Structure 1
Amino acid sequence: MLIGMNTTTGSPKHLQGFEDTVKDFWVSRPRRPRHGRKVAGVAAGVGNRYGIDPAVVRVAFVVLTVFGGIGVALYLVGMLIFADGDDEASAIESLLGRGRSSMSKPAALALCLVLLPLSLWSFSDHSWIDGGTFVGLALVVTGLYLLHRSRGQHRRPVPTGVRSGSNTTTATMTGGGTGAWGAPVAQAPSTWDALGADPLGWRLPEADAPAPTTRPEPPAPPRRKSRIGFAVVGVALAVGGVGAALAAEGVPWFTPAHVVGLMLAVLGLGMVVGSFLGGGRGLVWLALPLALAGLVFGAVPSEHFRGGFGDLVATPTSADQVLPTYERTAGSIRLDLTALSGDDQVRTTVRSGAGPVTVLVPPDADVWYSCETGVGTMECLGQAHNGVNTPNLRGHDYGLDGEGGPKISLTAKAGAGPVEVLRG
């Protein structure tokens, strides 16, 4: 079977350099197994090929997707270049007419069409750090290179291009001559017998020859407990603590999404090191919730996570008392501006990460407003919307008396919660 691992055929003892390593990786690249896969078997194939836990590979794909945006594109590349089970060729090779694959050519072509815009999006300017996608790609290339240099000689699958049930290796097939019609002819291996007779069958065993005995294999040494996991968790928590402190001080780059990204980077590096030295498998259970938190923090603007917790009620009595910003990370905000009068002019922003936002304005005020919420309802001076990621409400309202009175420029935001702008 092609899915069987071969530890001798074509397995080099020493790889001379980068070029030899890349060529040998392509020849002995992983296969996507039929069993043990979660999606398409890319992570399971890489794990089986190099003897590491496939869960570590899956978490690496998640981290690369959240941190740099390239994880999904790399997974599609794996689906295209890794042959499936006992297929004769990979999907991309089948698309080029170099063998058969269980993935149809239209499906392979569709994957290529999806991969192009997805790759362009991955390298666009949306990463949490400048050049984060390039950093993630460099880590993947470096990790695969080191894995193949250290473990590439083991668990080698039968190369693509070899049919199921054939005992002729790729090295033998490529060493053939040319037939009468110009087609390549496979040379028979040196141990092949045209008569089909076993050479050892002509030798009679000696009567007094002792029966061969097999020595039992020694038991595997007990696996040492690794402290890599504890060390990596400690470093990740320290990085998260320092990042949170800098975020609380108002350092612009250190948003919640960036802090989570740094922690995921530490955990990912720890899992790569643990795959070589043994240990670190438990880091998966910390990386998964952090990855989900990163998705949430990345979806909600960082400005919604400043200002502390709890309810905020403000009732300024003059324009000088109106603050430029009223904000809460979680909690309700109620701003009463009904005490403004005459020619007062104010500009303010009210935002909450999670909680209701209510602003009361004088009946005669001229109000220019902008209201938005991620999840919830909005009711702003006669306009209303509700749902998820609804369009912003913008406009101006002069009140029942027409133009004249206090002039208020207002922005009201909520990450999750209702937003109301009402006349008092």
Structure 2
Amino acid sequence: MSGAADPPRSHGLGGFEETLKDFWLTRPRRPLRGRKVAGVAAAIGNRYGIDPVIVRVAFVAATVFGGVGLSLYVLGWLFFPAEGDQVSAIEALFGKGRSSMTKGFTIILAIAFFPLSSWAFAGGWFDGGGVIGLALLVTALYLLHRGRGQFNRPEVPETTMYSMSTPASTAAEQPGWDPLAAPPLAWDLPSDEPPPPPAPPAPRRPARVPRRRSKIGLVTFACALLVAGAGAAAAATGADWFSAGHIIGLTLGVLGVGLVAGAFAGGGRGLIGLAIPLCIAGVIVTAVPVSDYKGGFGDLNAAPATIAEVQPEYSHTAGDMRLDLTKLPASGTVTTSVHNGAGDTRITVPETADVRFSCDTSAGTVDCLGITTDGVGRPAATGTDLGTDGAGGLQINLTVQQGAGNVEVLRG
């Protein structure tokens, strides 16, 4: 009824548009302390009362799996003002206010954003990962503002500044402006009205009370151990689904739930030291199909003396394999294949044998009788080598498949 403008609501936001407007008006401000690079993750964490480490992990994960995390971080760098600045760097570039970031560096960041975005959405290691990562991060930020936007709302500095170039229509609205340029006190006339009471001091935001650390980290670690142990026990009993990759994935899922819960309730930061190596192990297990190779672990050495002793297949899960075929007779035909999940494989053939070979490794170096490949996802090295005496004599048909490691076929 008084006609005064209603204060902005800090909670109970209406629709999607109102949420976006409120987010823009109260967007996170990059702190001057506690930042690792530009303070984007710390700004989001401080704004919504969660652990900034969780935000950093989300950015890193979105960068590794899809590449969009880095481009979103640059966007936050450009559009989140720093503490003490009137506006963000991109707004200051267009003269909307003052920012501590120089215009030259702002232009460099804006230019760098475009190749980073094209790399994220061009496809590659994880096709579609950029779109999925973008959707997950934007949705998470939207839900954070809907649920916790009322906390730690920043105080926006005053941006209205007047100068000698202020238009007359605007300057006339300023209090104390005198069109005749006379001394202001000369126009003060006595008045019977009492002076207005002084304005009350602006309320100061109370200091943040540190949260009590919970036992979420310890409970999550115990649950992760139970899940990993149960998965390993199920795999030992012959359950095919509980492979190494699935067990790692289940354990990471438990750790992820604990990290998210710890971000809101406090605690759980130490779980990151366990999650990072598990992520690396999961990527390796996923990229290298070790489960396709049977035969156990350790080193395997075989030196058959007759053709009948040569096995049709030599299979090994992980470890070094040594197959010596130099003791075979000088005539006959031998066909065998060697499969090794991870490790080094060396096969020695007689000097005079005619060898038809195909050697392949998913990641590593191949040197099969002078034909070499190196790297990841390289084509198999194939060919025929007739030995030192030309065609004739012992015939060896050899196929080598390796998950990760080096493959070598040489004469001895």
Tell me, yes or no, if structure 1 residue 350 matches structure 2 residue 327: no
Equivalence for 1:109: 110
Partner SS for 1:334: strand
Q: Distance in 1 between matches of 2:196 and 2:113?
A: 53
Per-residue Cα deviation, 1:276-304 (whole angstroms, up to 9, x for no partner): 33443332332233344445556x52338
Return the offset for 1:93.
4.2
Return the offset for 1:421.
0.8
Q: Distance in 2 between matches of 1:106 and 1:70?
A: 20
Equivalence for 2:221: 233
Partner SS for 1:200: coil
Partner SS for 1:351: strand
Partner SS for 2:38: coil
Return the offset for 1:379.
4.0
% same residue: 41
Q: Distance in 2 between matches of 1:297 and 1:278?
A: 32
Which structure has the larger Rg?
Answer: 2
Tell me, yes or no, if structure 1 residue 145 matches structure 2 residue 166: no
Tell me, yes or no, if structure 1 residue 399 matches structure 2 residue 371: no
Q: Distance in 2 between matches of 1:233 and 1:64?
A: 24
Q: Say if 1:306 and 1:328, in contact at 8 Å, map to a contact too.
A: yes
Return the offset for 1:46.
1.0
Q: Distance in 1 between matches of 2:268 and 2:171?
A: 50
Return the offset for 1:107.
1.1
Equivalent AA in structure 2 for residue 149 of structure 1: R
Runs of 4+ in 1 over 6 A off after TM superposition: 178-181, 184-188, 192-198, 245-248, 390-393
Q: Say if 2:349 and 2:410, in contact at 8 Å, map to a contact too.
A: yes
Tell me, yes or no, if structure 1 residue 328 matches structure 2 residue 317: yes
Equivalent AA in structure 2 for residue 26 of structure 1: W
Q: Distance in 1 between matches of 2:316 and 2:211?
A: 53
Q: Distance in 2 between matches of 1:96 and 1:406?
A: 77
Equivalence for 1:302: 289
Gaps of 5+ in 2: 1-5, 178-183, 186-193, 199-205
Return the offset for 1:313.
1.7
Counterparts of residues 114-193 of structure 1 (less than 5 Å): 114-121=115-122, 126=126, 136-159=133-156, 163=159
Q: Distance in 1 between matches of 2:13 and 2:145?
A: 10
Q: Distance in 2 between matches of 1:30 and 1:321?
A: 69
Q: Distance in 1 between matches of 2:152 and 2:7?
A: 11
Return the offset for 1:25.
1.5
Return the offset for 1:56.
2.1
Return the offset for 1:391.
6.3
Distance 1:234 1:409, change over 3 A: same
Equivalent AA in structure 1 for residue 321 of structure 2: I
Tell me, yes or no, if structure 1 residue 415 matches structure 2 residue 399: no
Q: Say if 2:85 and 2:98, in contact at 8 Å, map to a contact too.
A: yes
Distance 1:292 1:394, change over 3 A: closer
Equivalence for 1:175: none
Q: Distance in 2 between matches of 1:252 and 1:321?
A: 33
Per-residue Cα deviation, 1:246-277 (whole angstroms, up to 9, x for no partner): 77869589553x65454334323322223333
TM-score (norm 2): 0.71
Equivalence for 1:57: 55
Equivalence for 1:213: none
Equivalent of 2:369 in 381, 405, 410: 381
Distance 1:133 1:237, change over 3 A: farther
Q: Distance in 2 between matches of 1:255 and 1:350?
A: 19
Partner SS for 1:37: coil
Q: Say if 1:60 and 1:268, in contact at 8 Å, map to a contact too.
A: no
Return the offset for 1:358.
0.8
Q: Distance in 2 between matches of 1:9 and 1:68?
A: 41
Distance 1:72 1:268, change over 3 A: farther
Q: Say if 1:369 and 1:411, in contact at 8 Å, map to a contact too.
A: yes
Return the offset for 1:120.
0.9
Equivalence for 2:12: 14
Distance 1:250 1:334, change over 3 A: farther
Partner SS for 1:409: strand
Gaps of 5+ in 1: 1-7, 169-177, 202-216
Q: Distance in 2 between matches of 1:14 and 1:292?
A: 41
Equivalence for 2:26: 28
The range that moved more, 95-104 or 224-233, is 95-104
Q: Distance in 2 between matches of 1:367 and 1:230?
A: 57
Per-residue Cα deviation, 1:135-184 (whole angstroms, up to 9, x for no partner): 65454344323322332122222459x54xx699xxxxxxxxx9777xx7
Coordinate RMSD, CA, aligned: 4.5
Distance 1:303 1:296, change over 3 A: closer
Q: Distance in 2 between matches of 1:421 and 1:406?
A: 15
Q: Distance in 2 between matches of 1:106 and 1:382?
A: 53
Q: Say if 2:65 and 2:126, in contact at 8 Å, map to a contact too.
A: no
Per-residue Cα deviation, 1:312-367 (whole angstroms, up to 9, x for no partner): 123454378534452232x211123343764525252333423x311122331222
Q: Distance in 2 between matches of 1:138 and 1:235?
A: 29
Return the offset for 1:305.
8.6
Equivalence for 1:276: 264
Distance 1:395 1:185, change over 3 A: farther
